[in-house]
Amino acid sequence: MLGALVAALLAPAAAAPTLPSPAAVPAQARSIPGYYRLLLGQFEVTALSDGTVTLPVDKLLTHTSPAELAPVMQRAGIDPAKAEISINAFLIHTGSRLVLVDAGPGAVFPHAGKLVASLHAAGYHPQDITDVVITHIHGDHSAGLTIQGKAAFPRATVHVQKTDADFWLDPANAARHPRHAHAFAQARLDLAPYLASGRLRRLAGAAEIVPGIRALPTPGHTPGHAFYEVESEGQKLVLWRDLIHGKDAQFHAPGIAIGFDVDEGAAISQRKAAMADTASKGYLVGAGHISFPGIGRVAARGVSYDWLPVNYSEQALRRAGGKR
Ligand SMILES: [Zn+2]
């Protein structure tokens, strides 16, 4: 038996079939819309890729210097003049509600706007979403709420911190913060259909969105920026959102901020506190701008921190008893 197999392997090869020329098969220069799913107690959590944005983080990061930044970025293999940064949203199926955390940038960025395609790929549709939580009103998190003036999530209630809605919707603030003029204009467009239909819920601080999901206000990046804590059967995931924009630089030195912060000092304090808390307690974190799926844990390393991305797992989707 084995002898016959070896003989067959050693026999002179038949004439090889003619292969098509690779030139006749165009290279497909794109990735498929992405999702990554895990179970958190009784909740199903799906990270949804909205694409990426390329940013000159060497010009945008503050409270640092080229001498500090260059070796850190070099070690990570990333050019700080054109760092490609993920835009991630998160979908939580609680059993009775389907909650989307952040709506992505819609058509605002050229290599993004893939959220709806990723949602379809993950088996859901915009009309299935019962609640959209906006962690803060910045175009890359809220512009995808509205497509050509219409609500992209036609049945959903939109939840946002009252502090953030009041700040971004007040024209007097726009005049006071000319550096963020574009963000004020975008905010009004993003929220318009939900305001008109009475489906914008302004949250007061640490409010519960639905059982198992609650806000943790973390003002700094914007006045109403909030984390969202997701907890089921004692398992916890904290959606950090815009605590991190330059992963390698800001885990190396949490005191490094970014020019998008409305209050850089407060944003730095939030980052230092969040990293220390996460590293000491070991819960999962979901981040808006860490390489997709942006889910992992944090470990302390002296005055710096390490990001420990989740290990890719399909087994983790099987509930005890194998039913899934
Ligand atoms: Zn952002």
Q: How many angstroms separate the alpha carbon of residue 319 from the centre of ligand 1? A: 33
If one compares 213 and 18, the residue with the highest pLDDT of the two is 213
| Residue 89, pLDDT above cutoff 90 | yes
Distance of alpha carbon 145 from alpha carbon 154, whole angstroms: 10
pLDDT at 201: 96
Q: Smallest Cα–Cα separation from 214: which of 237, 192, 243?
A: 237
- Put the strands of the sheet holding 235-241 in their side by side order: 208-210, 213-217, 226-232, 235-241, 284-287, 295-301, 304-309
| Residue 324, pLDDT above cutoff 50 | no
Average pLDDT, the chain: 90
Q: How many angstroms separate the alpha carbon of residue 138 from the centre of ligand 1? A: 7
Domains of the chain: which residue ranges? 33-311
pLDDT at 286: 97
| Residue 323, pLDDT above cutoff 50 | no
pLDDT at 154: 95
Q: How many angstroms separate the alpha carbon of residue 105 from the centre of ligand 1? A: 9
Q: What percent of the chain has pLDDT over 70?
A: 93
Q: How many angstroms separate the alpha carbon of residue 88 from the centre of ligand 1? A: 9
Token pair, residue 123, equals: 């088996």
Q: How many angstroms separate the alpha carbon of residue 142 from the centre of ligand 1? A: 9
User: In this predicted model, what pLDDT tens digit does every residue of 215-245 receive, in sequence order?
Assistant: 999 998 888 899 999 999 999 999 998 899 9
Topology (CATH) of 33-311: Metallo-beta-lactamase; Chain A (3.60.15)
Token pair, residue 37, equals: 């799913």
Band of the pLDDT at 249, cuts 50, 70, 90? very high
pLDDT at 24: 77
Token pair, residue 164, equals: 């953030």
| Residue 267, pLDDT above cutoff 50 | yes
**Residues near 218 by beta carbon (within 8 Å), at least 6 away in sequence:** 225, 226, 227, 243, 270, 274
User: In this predicted model, what pLDDT tens digit does every residue of 161-214 receive, in sequence order?
Assistant: 999 999 999 989 988 988 888 889 899 999 999 999 999 999 999 999 999 999
User: In this predicted model, what pLDDT tens digit does every residue of 203-218 receive, in sequence order?
Assistant: 999 999 999 999 999 9
Q: How many angstroms separate the alpha carbon of residue 87 from the centre of ligand 1? A: 7
What's the helix, strand, coil split of the chain in %, to 5? 30, 30, 40
Give, in degrees to the nearest 5, the angle at Cα 290 between 211 and 206. Answer: 30
Q: What's the average model confidence in pLDDT over 149-166?
A: 95
Band of the pLDDT at 322, cuts 50, 70, 90? very low
List the single range of 34-43, 79-88, 104-113 with lowest mean pLDDT. 104-113
pLDDT at 2: 58
- Please identify every residue whose CB atom is under 5 Å from ligand 1, which is an ion: 140, 242
Q: How many angstroms separate the alpha carbon of residue 282 from the centre of ligand 1? A: 24
pLDDT at 280: 97
